Structure formats: structure tokens, C-alpha cells
Structure 1
């Protein structure tokens, strides 16, 4: 493929987010909203199915964070807490957006959201199996631990929603204060960057499909035996 022609300002359009990462992001948004709605409407069968799908997506994202495209890999974008703090100190400074992937503070928000999603979906899967008496391993868990898992699933949902609100507010602050549009690249996959910045490497979509299939199989096993 021929290189894109840079504009007069020395910037060109670069694909920074691959399709699997973007699909994960927006499907997660829809599934979290669906889980919230089905819980409020007491549609528990739908709630469980959406939760299982969300768990498969989270497991896929964890694997994609190890073997996926460059901007999706944890080792490429997770910075030290000190780097995140230095970044946040300039939050109110209006400046050009030359970040290829997640910024240092955003990286820690990604880790927080993934951890909360994993904990919430796993605890929900266990809680449902424990109540429905479907998981053969449930009977080996002491009641005090089973009750603790159920309680965590209840208040963990509020913590997750709080983190989502914080994430949305951060996106708004970056748009209004710093002039950085973080939504458009996650929709289109592309971002205008200086010519000197190298385009990130992308992993094969076939690898993404294989990892998603592995995640779905793992969730099916957890739903059967947990």
C-alpha cells in the first residue's frame, strides 16, 4: 500500500486503532448498557447472557493486550504511575494531540475498567450458577465466601458505573479543555499525526478471531463448571 500524502502542515492520517480493539470498545459500551437495563427490568435470563458475552469480550481484550496490535498491547501503553501523574499535571494545558495510543493516565483507566469488568462478570457468573444450582463447583465454596461474592457483585456494579462516568467525564475534559477528540479515532480508527511519528504495527484479524473463539470457549466452560 502506498504511503499517504501528508498535508501542508506535515501531518497525515494514521491508523492508530485496529478493528478488533474498536469493536471491543463499542460492544462493551452496548453490553454494559444492556446489563444495566436488564438488571433494572429484572430480565435475568437476558442479563446473564449479556454478562457472559461481556466476559468473553473482556477475556479477548486481555489476550489481545498480550498478542494483538501495537497500540492494544499492555506493555506498549501502560506507563508508570509517576508518568500518569506528570501527564495529569498538564491536563488544563491546550496542546496538539500527538499521542499514538492511550496516554499515560488513560492507560491506567483502561486497566481499571478491565479489572472491574472482569471481577463483575466473573462474580455474576458464579452468583447465578450458585443460585440456579448449575455449577458443580459451587457446592464446594463455603457459604461465607459465596455470600461475599454475591455482595461484591451487587456493590461492584456501582463502582463500575462510577468508573464509567469518570471515563466519560475525562473524554469531555480532553475535548473541551485540551482540544483532543478521543472519540473520533475510536470510531474511525484513524488520527492525524506528524509525519515523523511511525504508524503502529497491526496484528492479523485472523488472530483476533482465533482469540475471540478461545475466549468464548473459556466462558462456556466457566458457565458449565463454575
Structure 2
């Protein structure tokens, strides 16, 4: 069993930062009141993280790239038929990949709708001034109901899968903490150097800049 770098440091930091932000978002939404200030800040943080992950899915470490784990019919067929190769399971296995992509998609929709929400009391998303009142109402309704429960459901499913794999003696947590995974067969290791980490930092900064610009669009709309 050879230890192989599967998850580069930027991917691991993204994973745990996203998990912490999502948990905090659910808590602040339930608490309400002044906690909504933090709800918005955390939403912007998740927005930046999602943009970063999209970019990192094309230029990050080998197993962080979408091309390495996208659940193609061939990969799904091999995995479900018990014929999976080491490359099919080194990073996200095909079923795990479906879960990850679903969660990233739902979170993206949730962040997007959150930018247009209005609680009609004290807090409104930064882009509410750019759309009609009916649109704000529709997006707010989704954000508070279906969107919220989809996120909670997918997170719960993700945690349940981790527990099931642990019972089956497959530890998914340690590799996401330490980066390395013991492989019975050699696979391509993820590049995780000072240069790639610097690139990740630049991309995260660019993602934060995009979020800032989006928020400013709404503020300019209010002035206009």
C-alpha cells in the first residue's frame, strides 16, 4: 500500500472551509436577527469559494480536476459492476462525484438566489434593486424553503456516505485532512508544490474580487 498525494492543500482547505461556512450559514439563518449580518458575509465567502473551486477544477491537482472524477457512464458502469480501476476510486469515486457535483450545483443556486433575497424587515441581498419585486419574492421563497432543505439534505447524505464507507473500512476523512491515500496500485500523484499553492492563492484572490464586483453592482443599481 503506497501513500500517494491525492488531495492537494488548496483542495483540502477549500473542503473544510466550505463545510464550516455551510454549517455556520444554516445556524445564522435559524438564529436570524443580527446574525443575518454574518449570514450574508458567510454567503459571500461561499460565493468566492465556489468560484475558486470552479477554476481549480481545471488547473488544480490531478484528482481535483473535473476531468479526473467526472462520473461518465463508463466510470459509473465499472464502479457499480465491481470493476472499478484504481483511477476510478483514487479521488472521488463515481457515486461520490455525483454527490459532490450535486452539492456544488445546489450551493451555487443557493448563493445566487441569496443575492436577491429580501426578508421585508431589515435585510436584503445586494442585487435586489436590479430585479422586480415578483422576482425577489420568487427567489426569496426558493432560498428559504427548497434551496435550504436541498443543501441540508445533500450535506446529510454526504456525511452518511462517509460513515458507511468507514463501516466498510474505507476512510475518506484522513486523506482529506492529510492529503495522502494508501493505494494498492500506483496512480498519478497530485501536484502539490509551493507554485501550485501560490496559484491557488491568486485564484482565490481573483474569486474574491469577482464577488466584490458583483456586490458593487447592486449598490450602484440602488444609486441609479
Q: Aligned pair 1:100/2:90, yes or no?
A: yes
The aligned counterpart of 1:54 is 46
Going from structure 1 to structure 2, the CA distance change for 1:81 and 1:61 (only over 3 Å counts) comes to same
Distance apart, 1:76 and its partner CA: 1.5
Aligned pairs (5 A) from 1:106-185: 106-127=96-117, 138-155=128-145, 156-177=147-168, 179-185=169-175
Going from structure 1 to structure 2, the CA distance change for 1:132 and 1:17 (only over 3 Å counts) comes to same
Q: How many pairs are equivalent?
A: 211
CA contact (8 A) 1:12 1:194 kept: yes
Q: Aligned pair 1:23/2:24, yes or no?
A: no
**SS in structure 2 of the partner of residue 23 of structure 1:** helix
In 2, Cα distance between the equivalents of 1:41 and 1:163? 21
Structure 1 residues not aligned, in runs of 5+: 1-10, 91-95
Structure 2 residues not aligned, in runs of 5+: 219-224
**SS in structure 2 of the partner of residue 126 of structure 1:** coil
Aligned pairs (5 A) from 1:59-98: 59-81=51-73, 83-84=75-76, 86-88=78-80
CA contact (8 A) 2:63 2:69 kept: yes
The aligned counterpart of 1:224 is 216
Normalization by structure 2: what TM-score? Answer: 0.84
The aligned counterpart of 2:24 is 34
In 1, Cα distance between the equivalents of 2:87 and 2:55? 28
**SS in structure 2 of the partner of residue 192 of structure 1:** strand
